[in-house]
Structure 1
Amino acid sequence: MKDGVCLRRAVNLIDEIDFEDYGERHAFNDIYETLLRELQSAGKQGEYYTPRALTAFITSKVAPKLGERIADFACGTGGFLVDAIKYLRLQVKTTEDNAILQNSIIGIEKKQLPYMLCTTNLLLNDISDPQIIHGNSLERNVREYRDDEKVSVVLMNPPYGGNEQSSILNNFPADLRDSETADLFMIEILYRLKREGRVGIILPDGFLFGTDNSKVAIKKKLLEECNLHTVVRLCGSVFTPYTSIATNLLFFDKTGPTKETWFYRFDLPEGYKAFSKTKPLTLEHMKVIDEWWDNRVEIKDEKEDESLTDTYKSKKYTINEIISNGYNLDLCGFPHKEEIILEPEELIQNYEQERTKLNKAIDDKLAVIMQMLREG
């Protein structure tokens, strides 16, 4: 705005907005969300813009209640918190209810820019004094949390792929220490979740099938202290264009140890080879999970050959089956096509055959075109 005339025009446009009008004020929500989505800095250092279809779906399944404390310990720009606010606002009937809502949302963000964006996001969603802390959730010793610091609901997509300093690792029990950031946040949640509390979290595949000592110890603690009732496997393109890392939705509550866990594989919609920036994941796509969620049935994959091992799109596994599998939660995953490795001579022969077929198809097509031109 080095040009004074342009600045004056911008001021005049802003002056026309009625900030007291509820509709106009809330139009900023959509505008702001669009700006956040288009941020070019998204996807650095294991932090990605979470598709709003995922935040809305997870929030609806965890179903926060008015009066509960809802937290995101790595809140980024506040996508989960905003969806929690929208979900709770439907329960607000009085001014007292609204006052409760104002103090229900808690966020912590390590980086300066996302912290500022999140605070603004909550202000635009009518939270007058956002309780967003600028800091690192992992800097506190997890064994020091008091009961009044614990929360009833956690909604998160923690950063993953990063590593924390050794000074941070000292805040966690020795047998659970893991340099992977996402694993540390899982430990954080287990220590900060109230009895009867509920969690919806997005985690990478590495957490499910990791077999090193610390990962197994974290999963063992999760299954012994919480009820991991549902795992939804997501395809790798969900976070396109930021990353192709395959992720999963984990839903659990602190009502007792896990007895059984349902796994469901969310396949790409018909006609999709992958989600993309122009064809992103939407809530409409999530309806298939909604339908399954309320009517859970085992779904076996079709086999090309009866000699092949049975695989499942959806299946319930008991805790004994999970333990006997070495706490490997890589179940109902995406099928891996076996690649046949040919000898060099055979590979060259195959290429030559394919080239001959392709050349013939081109020649046939050219002959048709030439014939049409002669007849024309």
Structure 2
Amino acid sequence: MSIGNFVKRVRDIMRQDAGINGDAQRIEQLTWMLFLKVYDDAESVWELMDDEYESIIPEYLRWRHWANTDIGNTEALKGDELLDFVNNDLFPTLKDLQLPAHCPRRKSVVKAVFEDIHNYMKDGVQLHELMVLINEFDFSDPEETHAFGLIYESILRELQSAGSAGEYYTPRALTDFMAAHVGLKPGDMVADFACGTGGFLNSARRVLEPQAAAGTNEDRELLSHSFFGIEKKPLPYLLCVTNLLLNGIDEPNVRHANSLTTNVQEFGEKDKFDVILMNPPYGGSEKPVIQGNFPEQFRSSETADLFMTLISYRLKKDGRAAVVIPDGFLFGSGAKRAIKERLVTKFNMHTIVRLPTSVFAPYTSIATNVVFFDNTGPTKETWFYRVDMPEGYKHFSKTKPMLLEHLKELDAWWTDRKAITVDGFDKARAYTAEELRGNDYNLDLCGFPSEKEEILPPRELIEKYQADREAHERVMDEMLRKILSKIGGEE
């Protein structure tokens, strides 16, 4: 079945149901059903590999039984009977599953998935039609799983137009590039503390999978246990778990929680990771009780600031991180400045990539950047590189997204770094830690001089003005000092 045909048929079925209101509900409805189908097919494989495997789901609630739409199945539920079963038996039971002690993640995830998910469909006939459509796929067949992987990615991309749900989607080209440039190796534990639909974890899997396949049996065994995620909201959490299961991660260690509710100073070595890949939510606001989990100088209502601090406390010695951050972080003062000082003095912040404003179009025009750093010692120098729009593009969009090929120049530069100047403006340049400190940790460097001035929110506009003014004053003071020194004046 083609991608377009599947998505069209799903949409046509749900449009006939009075309970579905908008794309976000349509995606949630489809995804919990896909989860149960994917999980059931995965269990078929686990049962073949382990004669003692027992499902956490009661037998009559397993997809293979209640959702069996084979022709001739006289026990198949339909219409109102099906709707009553889903609402009053399936959902309540899965939400209240009793988990045994030391329950493995691949089992406990079922209860976690259904704690905050809803059945929106009100017509049992349409619900049955959707089951028939989903049953056309056999997720235990590698070829069909690969084909559906493309369909699944198209579903994730549709989150862009699903209202606030769009915040969960980071372009695959960006997640793949970041995963490819943090030195992933077998045995690494990879984390994303706001994992959304699992894009970064899957990009890491794509890097590690070939290495594990070419490595030892231990490397291959480690792969399924190499990924850790936390997601606060139920829909992206469900999407993430389904995404990982679909791609062969049998032990998806993904938790439905808020990463910011633990005091960062309580994290020990067991809570730290080799690699952290993230696009933290930004533009949100956290309550004072959450801010209290951070040292006073790092406290901020801005979620991106808190996540940057969290990452710094959960990165192992010699660990590597790549994090998407908004422009406001680069020139911001207060807690932002304190966090940047920590990154420079405690970590090796070796690269900052400036991205075009339309990378996350159409659901936000906020300019973003990627900060690469590792826990190998203090920063000696930081390279800045500006990614310009590719030739023939005015901006990226939903139909013309950023592709990996648009980052080829950056990829080539990565291993052969040199300063680049275009029309008199820096496109790539290294700054020493001393220069960054002398600029009061204003990291708004190698920006986009040819772009029209962006209208920033008032608070960010004031912060940018203050940072620019202070930077200019420092330059003037230094020039004045040199002049006075040459003419014999007082410094």
Indicate whether 1:324 and 2:438 are aligned. yes
Pairing 1:261-340 to 2, within 5 Å after superposition? 261-303=382-424, 311-335=425-449
Give the match for residue 137 of structure 1: 259
Instruction: Tell me, yes or no, if the aligned pair for 1:69 and 1:106 is still in contact at 8 Å.
Output: yes
In 2, the alpha carbon distance for the partners of 1:237 and 1:143 equals 37
Give the match for residue 237 of structure 2: 115
> Residues 22 and 315 of structure 1: is their aligned pair in 2 closer, same or farther, counting only changes over 3 Å?
same
CA-CA distance at 1:238 after TM superposition: 0.6
Letter of the structure 2 residue corresponding to residue 185 of structure 1: F
Pairing 1:65-214 to 2, within 5 Å after superposition? 65-93=185-213, 94-211=216-333, 213-214=334-335
SS at match of 2:406: coil
In 2, the alpha carbon distance for the partners of 1:156 and 1:117 equals 17
In 1, the alpha carbon distance for the partners of 2:235 and 2:339 equals 31
SS at match of 2:153: helix
Give the match for residue 41 of structure 2: none
Letter of the structure 1 residue corresponding to residue 415 of structure 2: D
Q: State the structure with bigger RCO (CA 8 A, min sep 6), 1 or 2.
A: 1
TM-score normalised according to structure 2 size: 0.64
In 2, the alpha carbon distance for the partners of 1:271 and 1:74 equals 34
Give the match for residue 343 of structure 1: none
CA-CA distance at 1:46 after TM superposition: 8.7
Instruction: Tell me, yes or no, if the aligned pair for 1:46 and 1:162 is still in contact at 8 Å.
Output: no
In 2, the alpha carbon distance for the partners of 1:158 and 1:4 equals 39
In 1, the alpha carbon distance for the partners of 2:200 and 2:210 equals 16
Pairing 1:244-259 to 2, within 5 Å after superposition? 244-259=365-380
Per-residue CA distance 1:237-282 (angstroms, 9 max, x = gap):
1111011000001100000000101001100011111111221100
CA-CA distance at 1:48 after TM superposition: 4.4
In 2, the alpha carbon distance for the partners of 1:293 and 1:322 equals 21
CA-CA distance at 1:159 after TM superposition: 0.2
In 1, the alpha carbon distance for the partners of 2:224 and 2:151 equals 23
Instruction: Tell me, yes or no, if the aligned pair for 2:361 and 2:397 is still in contact at 8 Å.
Output: yes
In 1, the alpha carbon distance for the partners of 2:284 and 2:132 equals 45
In 2, the alpha carbon distance for the partners of 1:266 and 1:118 equals 29
SS at match of 1:231: strand
The counterpart of 2:157, out of the listed 19, 31, 37, is 37
In 2, the alpha carbon distance for the partners of 1:95 and 1:288 equals 37
CA-CA distance at 1:128 after TM superposition: 1.2
| Structure 2 alignment gaps of length 5 or more | 1-12, 14-78, 80-122, 454-491
Instruction: Tell me, yes or no, if the aligned pair for 1:75 and 1:108 is still in contact at 8 Å.
Output: yes
Give the match for residue 226 of structure 1: 347
SS at match of 1:162: coil
Indicate whether 1:27 and 2:141 are aligned. no
In 2, the alpha carbon distance for the partners of 1:70 and 1:142 equals 19
The structure with more helix, counted as a fraction of residues: 2
Q: After TM superposition, which residue ranges in structure 1, 4 or more long, deviate above 4 angstroms?
A: 1-16, 40-43, 336-339
In 2, the alpha carbon distance for the partners of 1:156 and 1:264 equals 19
Q: RMSD value over aligned CA atoms?
A: 2.1
CA-CA distance at 1:98 after TM superposition: 2.5
CA-CA distance at 1:47 after TM superposition: 2.4
Instruction: Tell me, yes or no, if the aligned pair for 1:46 and 1:159 is still in contact at 8 Å.
Output: no
In 2, the alpha carbon distance for the partners of 1:165 and 1:13 equals 44
In 2, the alpha carbon distance for the partners of 1:70 and 1:325 equals 33
In 2, the alpha carbon distance for the partners of 1:10 and 1:302 equals 57
CA-CA distance at 1:25 after TM superposition: 1.7
Indicate whether 1:55 and 2:169 are aligned. no
Per-residue CA distance 1:198-222 (angstroms, 9 max, x = gap):
00110000110112x2111111111
In 2, the alpha carbon distance for the partners of 1:42 and 1:117 equals 14
Instruction: Tell me, yes or no, if the aligned pair for 1:70 and 1:154 is still in contact at 8 Å.
Output: yes
Instruction: Tell me, yes or no, if the aligned pair for 1:46 and 1:160 is still in contact at 8 Å.
Output: no
SS at match of 2:289: helix
